[in-house]
């Protein structure tokens, strides 16, 4: 794996982290968190950790944002 691809993946994760932190609306933050999970999945694939990438794809990109959105919906009532 070339260092350029690794640096690009790390930069993508850093930008995604800042986007999650700076998003104020909880619904948008959940969507941004999902995109951040996809960025982490790309990083884990670049680091040649497919098992961790699959776990991050399932949990970080799907389950956690879904639970956050359902919690926001339930608390809004």
pLDDT band at 46 (very low <50, low <70, confident <90, very high): very high
The pLDDT, as a whole number, for residue 76 is: 81
pTM for this one? 0.89
Residue 44 CB partners (closer than 8 Å, separation 6+): 50, 52, 53, 56
Q: CA neighbours within 13 Å on the CB side: how many for 26?
A: 10
- Domain ranges in the chain are 3-75
**pLDDT at residue number 14:** 97
d(CA 20, CA 30): 8
pLDDT surpasses 70 at 1: no
Q: Answer whether residue 77 shows pLDDT above 80.
A: no
């Amino acid at each position: 794996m070339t260092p350029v691809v690794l640096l690009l993946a790390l930069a993508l994760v850093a930008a995604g982290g800042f986007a999650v932190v700076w998003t104020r609306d909880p619904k948008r933050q959940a969507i941004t968190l999902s995109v951040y999970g996809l960025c982490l999945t790309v990083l884990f694939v670049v680091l040649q950790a497919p098992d961790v990438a699959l776990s991050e794809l399932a949990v970080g990109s799907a389950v956690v944002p879904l639970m956050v959105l359902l919690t926001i919906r339930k608390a809004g009532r």
